[in-house]
Structure formats: C-alpha cells, structure tokens
C-alpha cells in the first residue's frame, strides 16, 4: 500500500506549470532516496502512466488519456454531461465548465470556452473558492451564484449534477463580472434547466 501511495504522490507532482520531472527532483519533493524515486518512475513508465524523455526526465504517459476516457464514458459524462455543456456554451456564448471534487480541490473535467470566454484556472482551486466546488461540498440543490476567486473579475452560476442521491459533478457558467451582472438571471435559469435535463438522461 505504501508503494501505491508513493506512486500517487509522484503523479500529483506533474502539472501544466511543471510537466517534466527527473528522479533527483522527485526524490527531493516526495522525500525518498534517489534510487527509490528512479524505481518509482521506472515502474510508472512500465505501466504507461509516465514516459521517459531523451533528456532523462519524465512526463505523463498516454495511458492516462485512455483511463480518463474510460472513466468519463462510464460515468455518463462523455455521452451526456459534456455534450450538454457544449450546448449551453453555444446558447449563452459563455464559458461552461464541468467539474468534480478531487478531495478538497476542484478538478475541471471539461471546459467549453467560446471566443471571448473566460478560461479555467491553471492552478488547483480550493472547493470553497468557486461555486463549482461549493455546490459539490454542500447539500445545496439549487443554482449557486458567486465569484470565481481564483480568477479576478469572474463570476459563476453553478449547480450540482445528481442522479438520485448519486453525485455526477457540477456544471457552471462563468463570465466576466460585467457581463455576468447584466445576465445573471439568464445564466442561473439556463444552468437550472440543463441540470434538470441531464438528470433525466444520465445513467451512472
């Protein structure tokens, strides 16, 4: 079990800001000997979860893409939730995010960003800092409106996606504060309608 935890710690080091890691860096960050870090990376590479580059450092492997695709399809996201997010983005002309909780952080599963839309945060976001996380961390069953604190001047309207009592992530419309103020009720109603439509069709 310790090996699994260590492997998970290594995978969590990889980010958009720092996509490449070598054994020495992993050893220092995770707190293991360099030989242990090298072995961890070698085993992860053997499983396809990371791949070794010519420079000797490692990056995430393509196997993760396949695992993510399988997870999304088996949870109904690929066939229903993400298409619903795309439709909502086209309807409103604003960014729509589909999110899930990764412990106490928001994981952006998919983001539909039209021209002029706001992007997803590029760093981990605490659940309480955005409506997309707040609706997942509470029993809130309506549409929650508030600031996306990880991005200046961005507001969101979000709702939890549920099938019965089972959570299926959250969906939210995010826009600049100026645009959001002018269409706040429109966004909230659209999110509520999409949530109901998804609830009728998703099968987990």
The reported pTM is 0.72
Q: Give the Cα separation of 175 and 183 in Å (integer).
A: 10
For tokens 């539909």, name the residue. 112
Query: Please, is 173 exposed, middle or buried when counting C-beta atoms within 10 Å of its C-beta (0-12, 13-18, 19+)?
Result: buried
CATH code 1.10.10.10 region(s) in the chain: 2-61
Q: What is the pLDDT of residues 67-77, one digit of tens each?
A: 666 666 655 56
Q: Give the Cα separation of 152 and 23 in Å (integer).
A: 36
- Asked: is 2-61 a CATH 1.10.10.10 domain? The reply is yes
Q: What is the pLDDT of residues 111-165, one digit of tens each?
A: 999 999 998 887 778 888 999 989 887 666 789 999 998 888 999 999 988 655 5
pLDDT at residue number 204: 41
Which class in CATH covers the domain with range 72-201? Answer: alpha beta
Tokens of 10: 């290594």
CATH code 3.30.450.40 region(s) in the chain: 72-201
Q: What is the pLDDT of residues 79-102, one digit of tens each?
A: 678 888 999 999 999 999 998 888
């Amino acid at each position: 079990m310790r090996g699994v935890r260590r492997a998970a710690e290594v995978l969590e080091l990889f980010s958009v800001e720092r996509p490449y890691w070598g054994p020495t860096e992993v050893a220092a960050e995770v707190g293991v000997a360099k030989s242990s870090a090298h072995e961890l990376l070698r085993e992860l590479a053997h499983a396809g979860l990371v791949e070794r580059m010519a420079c000797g450092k490692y990056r995430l492997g393509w196997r993760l893409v396949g695992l993510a695709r399988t997870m999304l399809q088996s949870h109904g996201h690929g066939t229903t939730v993400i298409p619903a997010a795309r439709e909502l983005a086209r309807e409103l002309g604003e960014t729509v995010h589909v999110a899930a909780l990764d412990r106490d952080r928001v994981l952006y599963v998919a983001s539909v960003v039209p021209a002029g839309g706001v992007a997803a945060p590029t760093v981990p976001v605490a659940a309480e800092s955005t409506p997309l996380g707040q609706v997942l961390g509470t029993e809130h069953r309506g549409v929650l409106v508030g600031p996306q604190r990880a991005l200046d001047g961005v507001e969101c309207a979000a709702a939890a996606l549920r099938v019965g009592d089972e959570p299926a992530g959250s969906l939210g419309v995010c826009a600049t504060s100026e645009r959001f103020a002018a269409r706040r009720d429109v966004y909230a109603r659209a999110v509520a309608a999409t949530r109901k439509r998804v609830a009728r069709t998703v099968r987990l």
